[in-house]
Amino acid sequence: MAKGDRSDTLVIFGITGNLARKRTFPALYNLERRNMLEVPIIGSGRSAWSDDDLRAEARKAIEATEQTDPAVMDRLLDRLRFVGGDLDDPSTYERLREALGAAHCPLFYLAIPPSLFGSVVRRLADAGLTRGARVMVEKPFGYDLESARALNREMLTVLTEDQIYRIDHFLGKEPVQDIVYLRFANEIFEPVWNRDHVESVQITMAEDFGVEDRGRFYDQVGALRDVVQNHLLQVLALIAMEPPSGGEDAVADRRLDVFRAMPAAEPAHYVRGQYDGYRSIDGVDPESSTETFVALRLQVDNWRWSGVPFFLRAGKCLAVTATEVDVRFRRPPSIKLADGVRTMRSHNHIKLRIGEDAGASLGLLLKKAGEPLTQSVHLDLDFKEQLGIAPGPYERLLHDALTGHDLLFPRQDVIEETWRIVQPLLDDPPPAEVYAPGSWGPESCDDLVAAHGGWAKLRSV
């Protein structure tokens, strides 16, 4: 197997789970619709399903989210087969080997709890199924720095690094990939994208819903592990990295450079919150201290960004659902005119929306009509309107893994650096402050950005 070789079968462990229902089945349908799915699909799970049961569940999940074409649906369902069994039972893998037949380059997608990654990979190796294979694993890859290293050591006993595809679905989002093009394909931005002109950067991932359907999982993870160590730090790296050049791993190398330049996060610049009512959710410990909201300040200590604070914020049950990056430029000095001095009360900024309403806006200062004051106005770009409907992140990542393209999959050295950065926050977390659902989290998080103009206003999806 080499990069660019196409997998000849897709095997999905955990096909009976919530992730498959919400993400995987719709992604497979859209790949089929685009004529980009060329392989048989084997689903595996502990349920006593037949092939027909799997097809019925796939149809139900897809029709819940997509406008379907009967011909496309039939083509996809014809690809599906089911191999049931316990993941600890060697006979499960024997049945899987029989189902794979002559396949020589399968993609094994582990949409299962991370605690099972190592044992499943070993069982696959024992059954002689890892030679020539790729293995795609869901996040989180570990629960802290040491467990991430231990898991990688375990997987490398039977796999090579280039066989492992670690998912961070944010890197599969088209608007996240657009960050690189926005920065480096437009000469007007790069000259001012540095500490001489940028005052601060904010990255926010807000959700107006809670964790009602996955309380048991979330209570073991929390917001920091769920979206900051992976999603938001990867976005930060794309905002802060140097221009990619020199080899097929150039983007990954530049992201790694950013993380290596970042000191570990400081608990003194970290706020945790838990929304009122979280502890009553099914599967959540009634005495849980797990955070559903985090806000923190980070630094990138290199020549481009020294002294520029990066603020990250993420939470459940907030006022809106939106994911945005706000790059704030330094406030211009006052303007002296014949009738007085015009003090600039605001600043320019570039806002990148990377949620459902993907787009970008440029904040400018202009004279307010009829008054000697400045007014902030926005030049707004809607990506869907201008660029068309983009493929979904799981659609993109599944296809990339099937075709051997690993650009959008974080390497182990990158994952270890992101765990290093957040490790002090895991080791010495402040208490989780209770906040009201529908608010913007604990009031103390405002203190983090008080000296930098406060948190950016987000546009609801």
Domains defined for the chain, CATH in brackets: 9-138 (3.40.50.720), 171-389+429-452 (3.30.360.10)
User: What is the spatial distance between Cα 165 and Cα 152, in angstroms, rounded to a whole number?
Assistant: 12
Query: CB of 197 within 8 A of CB of 348?
Result: no
> How many CB atoms lie under 10 A from the CB of residue 451?
9
Q: Are strands 106-110 and 198-206 parallel, antiparallel or unpaired?
A: unpaired
Q: Which residues contact 90 (CB under 8 A, 6 or more apart)?
A: 123, 126, 127
Q: Are 411 and 256 in contact (CB under 8 A)?
A: yes
- Nearby residues of 163 by Cβ (< 8 Å), 6 or more positions away: 1, 130, 133, 134, 135
pLDDT tens for each residue of the chain, 461 residues long? 556 589 999 999 999 988 899 999 999 999 999 999 989 999 998 888 999 999 999 999 999 988 999 999 999 999 999 999 999 999 999 999 999 999 999 999 999 988 899 999 999 999 999 999 999 998 888 999 999 999 999 999 999 999 999 999 888 888 888 898 889 988 988 999 999 999 999 999 999 999 988 888 899 999 999 999 999 999 999 999 999 887 778 888 999 999 999 999 999 999 999 999 999 999 999 999 999 999 999 999 999 999 999 999 999 999 999 999 999 998 877 666 656 555 656 667 899 998 888 888 887 777 677 666 666 777 888 887 787 777 889 999 999 999 999 988 999 999 999 999 999 999 999 999 999 999 999 999 999 999 998 998 887 65
Specify the long-range contacts of residues 303-306, CB closer than 8 Å, at least 24 apart. Answer: 304/193, 304/194, 304/195, 304/240, 304/242, 305/194, 305/195, 305/198, 305/240, 305/261, 306/195
Contact 265, 234 (CB under 8 A): no
Residue 172 per-residue DSSP state: G
Torsion angles phi and psi, residue 20, rounded to 5: -65, -45
Confirm if 111 and 13 have CB atoms less than 8 A apart. yes
Both structure tokens of 325: 């990056």
C-alpha span between 395 and 327 (Å, rounded): 29
**pLDDT at residue 336, rounded to an integer:** 64
The structure's pTM equals: 0.91
* Residues carrying an active site annotation: 231
User: Tokens 């139900």 map to which residue?
Assistant: 60
Distance between CA atoms of residues 230 and 415, nearest Å? 8
CB contact at 8 A, 317 and 210: yes
Check: CB of residue 17 under 8 Å from CB of residue 45: yes
- CA distances, 313 to each of 316, 434, 446 (Å): 11, 16, 11
- Note whether 11 and 130 are within 8 A (CB): no
From the list 32, 42, 33, 38, the residue with the least C-alpha distance to 12 is 42
Residue 294, classed as helix, strand or coil, is: strand
- What pLDDT, on the 0 to 100 scale, is given for residue 461? 56
Contacts 24+ apart (CB under 8 A), 30-37: 30/66, 30/391, 30/392, 30/395, 31/395, 31/398, 31/399, 32/72, 32/75, 32/76, 32/79, 33/69, 33/72, 34/391, 36/399, 37/76, 37/79
Instruction: Check residue 345 and give its pLDDT.
Output: 60
3-class state of residue 159 by DSSP = coil
* Locus of tokens 């030049």: 379
What is the Cα–Cα distance from 322 to 413, expressed in whole angstroms?
A: 30
Type and span of the H or E element at 255: helix 250-260
